[in-house]
Structure 1
């Protein structure tokens, strides 16, 4: 006996911080390699940010078709690029030797520096799907489509472990259609008789120019915002040194943005004249000019200027013990208000 259904109810699939870091690397021409999908039973904690995940909350053992194992089977059965930067994935999941509730799914990818990472994640919370133990006859299959995965990759390599798979839903829909069509698009204009599509067949003005314009505008607005979010992600790497000079602390910063070295910036924070005063340094990033700058100052009678709006790192310098060579690494992004926020 075999039971096959399509899964609904999962939340929108989201990037992890490691996934966003990989997205930044894809801009440099690194190909996207999706290696496999993993499943689990875990809940997200209240307010928990998917970006902070490096693994599923509670992963269950699984394998792909072609691997000898009695655990649950999780295959990527289809991948299609629907538009520039937008990909659809289909998964097929089959029960194994342990019962479980399918609550979370992760998409794994290969990072050229970190190895295999948790790239994308989704969780259906209380809408988990039950999978019984496979007893030799009760095959239970579930399929799920991840739609509109937006990526910077110009080259996508997906490890499809179960090719040419047609779900029962696909087959039944195709078999019972009044007029058969095919998902490969073979019913072309040349195969539709002249004047066969009439106003009667388009009932109640189902397709109007206004509706098409509105639908297209809505889709492109959402796509544009998602692409802007990805493009605003920057990998910041800073090597900086603090030393003592004749008149103050000498600060030198060697910055990189998205792995590309930028011009060194330097400055001097004059030594304070009173014990209550301190020296401060602010390393800033300007999105508009794509540039790194350094602001140094010393308070006077405990007072100093306001920190710059675009600073990404700050430090207080109060004595020679604060001198030395240091590093700072961070992934930053613009939020919906245009403010710089750290995502990793």
Structure 2
């Protein structure tokens, strides 16, 4: 299992955080992963990009509470033809003066191997990045419409479907009915039967 140290704000990230606390909207744009390692004299704080970026990951969701922000992304090996060790993860944001910057970054002390995509090896993992945002009052993210559904999003949709109110049809109320033997639907949509007892349909 991969082990990463905590996310470190870069110098540009610290400057943007100060702007955000002064009222600038903090907009996260994407996540990058790579296999780079810090060289002699390099520090995470001075990086302006990953050392060796290999893949861009779309942001699925973002939430903030108590001066911390959680960004959810999904890592997949779809489209990857050559595997690599994921040694670095970077979070990017938009600075009003500089454009897109590397906001925060981390290096792995123990890296996981991301294999190439094949019929027998498919990787699809959701993970969270937690960063300090201080007293920033406006935080947004560039959410990818083509991104995979997160577990939280699926759970919310499932709960909505399960609690959906089913309306039972009656002589004066449109709703769900169960069609069985002895009941027929006319061309105009009306139902005729010897005896009509509306039942809850198992299908919504």
Superposition TM-score tier, normalisation by shorter sequence:
0.5 to 0.7
Question: What SS does the corresponding residue of 2:4 show, helix, strand or coil?
Answer: coil
Alignment partner, residue 116 of structure 1: 100
Does the 8 Å contact 1:50/1:121 carry over to 2? yes
**Residue 100 in structure 1 maps to residue 84 in structure 2:** yes
Structure 2 runs not aligned, ≥5 long:
160-204
SS of residue matched to 1:124: strand
Partner SS state of residue 139, structure 1: coil
The residue correspondences of 1:4-43 to structure 2 (distance < 5 A) are: 8-43=2-37
Query: Counterparts of 2:42 and 2:134 in 1: how far apart (Å)?
Result: 23
Structure with the larger RCO, 1 or 2 (CA within 8 Å, 6+ apart): 2
Could you tell me whether the CA contact under 8 Å between 2:13 and 2:101 is conserved in 1? Answer: yes
Give the CA deviation at 1:35. 0.4
Could you list the per-position Cα deviations for residues 167-195 of structure 1 after superposition, in whole angstroms to 9, with x for gaps in the alignment? Answer: 8xxx9xxxxxxxxxx89xx9xxxxxxxxx
Q: Spell out, residue by residue over 1:208-233, the C-alpha distance to the aligned partner (whole angstroms, 9 max, x if none).
A: xxxxxxxxxxxxxxxxxxxxxxxxxx
RMSD: 2.6
Q: How does 1:1-344 map to 2 (within 5 A)?
A: 8-45=2-39, 48-60=42-54, 62-63=55-56, 74-83=57-66, 85-95=67-77, 96-125=80-109, 127-136=110-119, 138-147=121-130, 149-161=132-144, 162=147, 164-166=149-151
- Give CA deviations for 1:127-156 in whole Å, capped at 9, x if unaligned: 111111112452212332223533342100
Tell me if the contact between 1:8 and 1:144 (Cα under 8 Å) persists in the aligned partners: no
CA contact (8 A) 1:78 1:163 kept: no
Q: Any idea what SS the aligned residue of 1:24 has?
A: helix
SS of the aligned residue for 2:129 comes to strand
Bigger CA radius of gyration: 1
